[in-house]
């Protein structure tokens, strides 16, 4: 049991060797113990960053950063994470500058990068590319998003955000006991589906707030304690996870116009929230959260983006075996 | 009532749920030029109505039987040799299907040119659906009811 500090959590998987060489492809592969391990190590990385303590556990190691499609937050935070741990980076952020342009397959590019580096991070437009990469590589592969399929490190940093930003709890984690309200496009939102799947490992309840056309698919609701509404009523929520409603999801533009202003977080909505609730968003936002609420301490979406760095530091250190034979204290 | 003659050599797929026979036929008949008989909405004591498919001089391999089970999970398959039933078996829904069907998601990495990823599906039951092990998409019967064995 711990109250806000994961240091007090008895290590649920003392044998970190099981992480060495592991691929991070899908959130579905994570056990409850795995989530706790990532939360624990991410918290230690946050402390190191806060204190400015150098931790060169990846000195002499190389990360291949293979971005077959553009990304800002994911790429920059992986790079920051690797450099914060003393490692170096090779790779590309635009496939037009790689031999991809000459027709090389993803699989061959991965095999080459595997021979050059100690860990691979891949972002790819085709779903399933991360699994293929893991099959092609001799070194661990971390999925930085493969099309509409998976983006597991986003989910992990979302969990870290809830753990860090919610008040200390007497439960196993600060995530347990939370009522999580998902708002916006719940039908197509990859981050929402993935986080909902991960949260099933914790003692959480859900509120799904979406227009009828964009309701949460049944398979994610199954086996959960949830309520569903199309009213933006958030007074009972501990965590509010907002996503963007995209115009292209609607067959008729008039439908989009009717709904686009329905789920906007503004000062009035914030006034209804609990004092210790938090508002999250995977970013980029367009107009679903007014910039006027950014200064509200409950608006944690930029902190959420920051947590991408310590979360990815933890993952890089774990899968490369840098923490093997020791622990961060 | 109608009379459909016995076949001497080949395969009889029986107990196909009524309405599914055409899909099964497309799946299994390949390019045979021998007689193929599909009887639809035949009375059955067990199923009320059923479809039956008879294929002269055609024998189905295990991969094809797996595909048949997706469309007709209760079907029985009789192998006929010299007019006698040599073997009678129920099809069995496999837990996974590998290398026989292409993924129905055109963006899936398995559908990208020259990528060495063999399509692989987990078979979900009640109702039967296929989950691609690469792209993660789940496909209902409407996707695979018209498949033809490559």
User: CA torsion A209→A214→A218→A219, rounded to 10°?
Assistant: -100
Of the residues A12, A13, A73, A88, only one is catalytic, namely A73
The overall pTM is greater than 0.95: no
| Number of residues assigned to chain A | 329
Encoding tokens for residue A75? 């790429």
Average pLDDT of the residues in A292-300:
97
Tokens of A308: 């991408």
B107 neighbourhood in chain A, CB within 8 Å: 125-127, 147-148
Q: Determine which one of A22, A44, A61, A74 is catalytic.
A: A74
Task: Inform me whether the C-beta atom of residue B131 falls under 8 Å from chain A C-beta atoms.
Answer: no
Torsion region of A63: left, alpha or beta (phi above 0 gives left; psi -120 to 50 gives alpha)? beta
State the pairing for strand pair B76-81/A179-183.
Answer: unpaired
Q: Tens of pLDDT along A115-174?
A: 999 999 999 999 999 999 999 999 999 999 999 899 999 999 999 999 999 999 888 899
The token pair that represents B62 in the structure block = 């295990």
Instruction: Check pLDDT > 50 for residue B148.
Output: yes
Residue B4 is predicted with a pLDDT of 80
pLDDT score for A292: 96
- pLDDT of B103 reads 96
Please report the sign of the dihedral spanned by the C-alpha atoms of residue A186, residue A189, residue A193, residue A195.
negative
Kindly state the tokens that stand for B33: 């030029």
- Taking contacts as CB-CB distances below 8 angstroms, the residues of chain A near B136 are 26, 127-128, 149-150
How many angstroms separate the Cα of A201 from the Cα of each of A16, A27, A220, A223, B36? 21, 11, 13, 11, 53
Contacts of B103 in chain A (CB under 8 A): 128
CA distance A79 to A73: 10
Q: What is the DSSP string of A47-93?
A: HHHHHT----TTTT-EEEEEESS--SHHHHHHHHHHHHTT-EEEEES
Measured distance between the N- and C-terminal CA atoms of chain B, rounded to whole angstroms: 36
- Kindly provide the ipTM of the predicted complex, given to two decimals: 0.84
**Inter-chain CB proximity B109 and A150 less than 8 Å:** no
Coil, strand or helix: which one is B37? strand
End-to-end CA distance of chain A: 18
Catalytic-residue membership of A32: no
* A31-85 residue pLDDT tens: 999 999 999 999 999 999 999 988 899 999 999 999 999 898 999 999 999 999 9
Q: Residue length, chain B?
A: 150
Contact residues, chain B, for A149 at CB < 8 Å = 135-136
Residue in B113, B114, B117 closest to A128 by CB: B117
CA distance B19 to A325: 62
A-B contacts (CB, under 8 Å)? 56
DSSP string computed for A257-293: HHHTTTT-B-HHHHHHS-TT-EEE--S--SSSB-GGG
The reported pLDDT for the residue numbered A329 is 67
A11 band by pLDDT with thresholds 50, 70 and 90: very low
Better-predicted residue by pLDDT, A35 or A10: A35
Token readout for A47 is 């402390």
Please indicate whether, in this complex, the C-beta atoms of B136 and A149 are within 8 angstroms of each other: yes
Tell me: the pLDDT tens digits for A76-110? Answer: 999 999 999 999 999 999 877 777 777 899 999 99
CA dist., res. B22 & res. B26, Å (int): 6
**Chain A touched by B105 (CB under 8 Å):** yes
Q: Is B102 exposed, middle or buried (0-12, 13-18, 19+ CB in 10 A)?
A: middle
Q: What is the pLDDT of residue A4?
A: 41
Residue B73 pLDDT greater than 60, yes or no:
yes
Contact between chains at A107 and B115 (C-beta distance less than 8 A):
yes
Task: Count Cα atoms within 13 angstroms, Cβ side, for A189.
Answer: 30
Does residue B133 belong to the interface with chain A, where contact is any CB pair within 8 Å?
A: yes
Closest Cα in chain B to A146: B135
Report the residue of chain B nearest A108, measured CA to CA. B115
Best mutation site among A95, A104, A127 for testing chain B: the one with the most B CBs within 10 Å? A127
Kindly give, in sequence order, each residue whose CB lies less than 8 Å from that of residue A126, ignoring residues fewer than 6 positions away: A106, A146, A147, B107, B108, B109, B112, B135
Residue A273 in tokens: 């929230």
Residues A106, B112: C-beta atoms closer than 8 Å: yes
Q: Is A18 helix (H, G, I), strand (E, B) or coil?
A: helix
Across the interface, do B136 and A147 touch by the CB < 8 Å criterion?
Answer: no
Average pLDDT, chain B: 92
Q: Is the dihedral of CA B105, A209, A31, A156 positive or negative?
A: positive
A14, exposed or middle or buried, with CB in 10 Å at 0-12, 13-18, 19+?
exposed
User: Residues A22, A75, A123, A312: which is the catalytic one?
Assistant: A123
Q: Chain B contacts of A148, Cβ < 8 Å?
A: 107, 135
pLDDT digits (tens, 9 = 90+) for B20-70: 999 999 888 888 899 999 999 998 887 789 999 999 999 999 989 999 999
**Cα–Cα distance for residue pair A188/A134, rounded to 1 Å:** 26
Q: For residue range A167-204, what is the model confidence (pLDDT) as tens digits?
A: 998 888 999 999 999 999 999 888 999 999 999 999 99
> In this predicted model, what pLDDT tens digit does every residue of A225-263 receive, in sequence order?
999 999 999 999 999 999 998 777 777 888 888 877 789
Tell me if A107 and B134 make a contact (CB, 8 A cut-off).
no
Strands of the sheet with A278-280, listed across from one edge: A226-229, A205-209, A179-183, A239-242, A278-280
* Average pLDDT score over chain A: 91
- Collapsed DSSP state (helix, strand, coil) of residue A294: coil
Let me know: does A150 contact A211? Beta carbons within 8 Å. no
Q: Taking CB atoms and an 8 Å cutoff, what residues of chain B touch A105?
A: 112-116
With contacts defined as CB-CB under 8 Å, which chain A residues touch B135? 126-128, 147-149
Residue B71 CA to residue A305 CA, distance in Å, equals 47
Q: What is the pLDDT of residue A96?
A: 78
The predicted model gives B4-32 an average pLDDT of 91
Whole-number Å distance between alpha carbons of A78 and A71: 11
Give the number of other CB atoms < 10 A from CB of residue A57: 19
Helices (H), B29-136: 62-71
Catalytic residue among A124, A151, A193, A207: A151
Query: Over the range A116-133, which residues count as b (16 or more CB within 10 Å of their CB) and which as e?
Result: ebbbbbbbbbbbbbbbbb
Cα-Cα-Cα-Cα dihedral sign, residues B87, B93, B96, B101: positive
Residue A321 has pLDDT above 90, yes or no: yes
């Amino acid at each position: 049991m711990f109250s806000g500090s994961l240091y007090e959590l008895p290590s649920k998987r003392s044998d970190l060797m099981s992480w060495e060489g592991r691929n991070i492809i899908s959130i579905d592969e994570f056990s409850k113990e795995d989530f706790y391990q990532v939360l624990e190590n991410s918290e230690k990385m946050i402390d190191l960053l806060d204190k400015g303590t150098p931790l060169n556990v990846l000195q002499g190691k190389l990360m291949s950063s293979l971005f077959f499609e553009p990304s800002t937050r994911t790429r920059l935070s992986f790079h920051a994470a690797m450099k914060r741990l003393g490692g170096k980076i090779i790779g590309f952020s635009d496939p037009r500058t790689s031999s991809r342009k000459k027709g090389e397959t993803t699989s061959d590019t991965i095999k080459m990068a595997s021979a050059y580096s100690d860990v691979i991070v891949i972002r790819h437009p085709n779903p399933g590319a991360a699994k293929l990469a893991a099959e092609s590589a001799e070194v661990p592969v971390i999925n930085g998003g493969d099309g509409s399929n998976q983006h597991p490190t986003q989910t992990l940093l979302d969990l870290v955000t809830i753990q860090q930003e919610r008040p200390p709890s007497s439960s196993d984690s600060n995530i347990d006991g939370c009522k999580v309200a998902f708002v916006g496009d719940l039908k197509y939102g990859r981050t929402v589906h993935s986080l909902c799947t991960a949260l099933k490992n914790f003692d959480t309840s859900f509120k799904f707030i979406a227009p009828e056309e964009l309701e949460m698919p049944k398979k994610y609701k199954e086996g959960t304690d949830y309520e569903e509404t199309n009213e933006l009523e958030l007074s009972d929520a501990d965590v509010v996870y907002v996503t963007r409603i995209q115009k292209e999801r609607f067959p008729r533009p008039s439908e989009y116009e009717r709904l686009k202003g329905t789920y906007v977080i503004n000062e009035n909505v914030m006034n209804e929230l609990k004092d210790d609730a938090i508002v999250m968003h995977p970013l980029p936002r367009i107009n679903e959260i007014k910039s006027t609420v950014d200064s509200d301490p409950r608006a944690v979406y930029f902190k959420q983006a920051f947590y991408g760095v310590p979360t990815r530091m933890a993952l890089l250190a774990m899968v490369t075996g840098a923490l093997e034979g020791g622990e961060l204290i | 009532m109608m009379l459909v003659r016995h076949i001497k050599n080949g395969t009889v797929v029986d107990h196909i749920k009524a309405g599914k026979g055409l899909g099964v036929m497309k799946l299994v008949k390949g390019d045979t030029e021998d007689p193929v008989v599909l009887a639809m909405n035949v009375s059955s004591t067990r199923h009320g109505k059923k479809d039956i498919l008879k294929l002269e001089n055609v024998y189905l391999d295990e991969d094809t039987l797996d595909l048949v089970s997706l469309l007709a999970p209760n079907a029985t398959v009789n192998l006929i040799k010299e007019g006698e039933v040599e073997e009678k078996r129920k099809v069995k829904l496999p837990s996974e299907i590998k290398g026989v069907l292409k993924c129905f998601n055109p963006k899936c990495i398995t559908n990208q040119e020259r990528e060495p990823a063999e399509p692989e599906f987990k078979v979900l039951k009640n109702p039967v659906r296929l989950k691609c092990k690469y792209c993660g998409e789940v496909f209902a019967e409407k996707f695979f009811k018209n498949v033809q064995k490559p």
